[in-house]
Amino acid sequence: MTGEAEDRMEDGGDELLAAEYVLGVLPLDARMAFAARLEAEPPLRALVAAWEIRLSPLNDDYGETAAPASAKAALDRRLFGGPAARETARPALWQSLAFWRGLAVAALASLAVVLIVPFTVPPPTEPSARFVAAMQADASPVRYVALYQSGTGMIDLTRLSGEPASGRDFELWLIEGGNAPRSLGVLPAGETARVPVSQQLASLVSSGATLAISDEPAGGSPTGAPTGAVLALGEMRGI
């Protein structure tokens, strides 16, 4: 291969990046950055879907392994809040519960956006710094990965496991040096979340700063400091 072709390959473009993402070979930071773009760019999602379909025959290699019976019971408790009541469905009740809860969360989330958006940093022109944090804590099921990009002024979070107890919320905190935790806001429900970082806090983001998630009353800590257990935390690493 000529040097030039090598360079083009190095550069890759979205087609190759999508292929690498689907194949799964990217390191955490590149994977997070790509996932953040996926949320915002439908053409990229189409590239990913095409690769998923293209490589899907390889799924045959996995075969099948029966999951333990306890897994379904745990899943049902988690989704529907009780042991599975097969056939005797009570869909009306849980559906409306889930619906109203969803609505309340959506309302909170949009309120958070209204409150936070005015302080959002406009994208700076200097070269973008990126930090990634893998967040977890002993004896806590809550795990997130987070990516901060100074270019967007946003922290993109992907939830790997865990969710707030009923009537509680997850709140995200930035801890820098020996200073008290600074709130980055309540995390909206869902697998992914995009949290804007105010200009003031953006200056505190650095390698070695810590992101943490605490368990808080609905709507977030009433005091401005974490009041509940720290469920996950991780150090930000520059990339």
Partner 1 sequence: MQGQADQITELIVRTGLKDRSAFDRLYEATSAKLFAICLRVLRDRGEAEDALQEVFVRVWTRADRFAASHHSPISWLAAIARNHCIDRLRARKAPARPVEEAFDLAADEPGPERLAELSSEGRRIDACMEELETDRAEAVRAAYVMGYSYEELAGRHGVPLNTMRTWLRRSLMKLKECLER
Task: Please report, as ranges, the residues that interact with partner 1 according to CB under 8 A.
Answer: 1, 6, 9, 12, 15-16, 19-20, 22-28, 31, 35, 49, 52-68, 70-72, 74-75, 78-80, 84, 86-87, 89, 91, 94-95, 134, 136, 141, 143, 145, 158, 160-161, 191
Pairing of the two strands 154-161 and 168-175: unpaired
In this complex, which beta carbon is closest to partner 1, that of residue 75 or of residue 106?
75
In this complex, which beta carbon is closest to partner 1, that of residue 63 or of residue 122?
63
CA–CA gap between residue 207 and residue 236 (Å, rounded): 5
CB of 225 to partner 1, least distance (A): 27
CB of 90 to partner 1, least distance (A): 9
Name every residue whose Cβ is closer than 8 Å to that of residue 69 and which is 6 or more positions away in sequence. Answer: none
CA 15, distance to chain mean position in Å, is 24
User: How large is the greatest C-alpha to C-alpha distance in the chain, in angstroms?
Assistant: 67
CB of 149 to partner 1, least distance (A): 18
CB of 128 to partner 1, least distance (A): 21
In this complex, which beta carbon is closest to partner 1, that of residue 193 or of residue 201?
193
State the sign of the Cα–Cα–Cα–Cα dihedral 4, 5, 10, 11: positive
SS3 content of the chain, % helix, strand, coil (to 5): 40, 25, 35
In this complex, which beta carbon is closest to partner 1, that of residue 60 or of residue 126?
60
CB of 35 to partner 1, least distance (A): 8
In this complex, which beta carbon is closest to partner 1, that of residue 120 or of residue 192?
192
Angstrom distances, CA of residue 222 to CA of 136, 216, 226, 227: 24, 9, 9, 8
Per DSSP (E only), the strands in the chain are 130-135, 143-149, 154-161, 168-175, 182-186, 192-196, 210-217, 230-235, 237-238
In this complex, which beta carbon is closest to partner 1, that of residue 39 or of residue 52?
52
CB of 156 to partner 1, least distance (A): 12
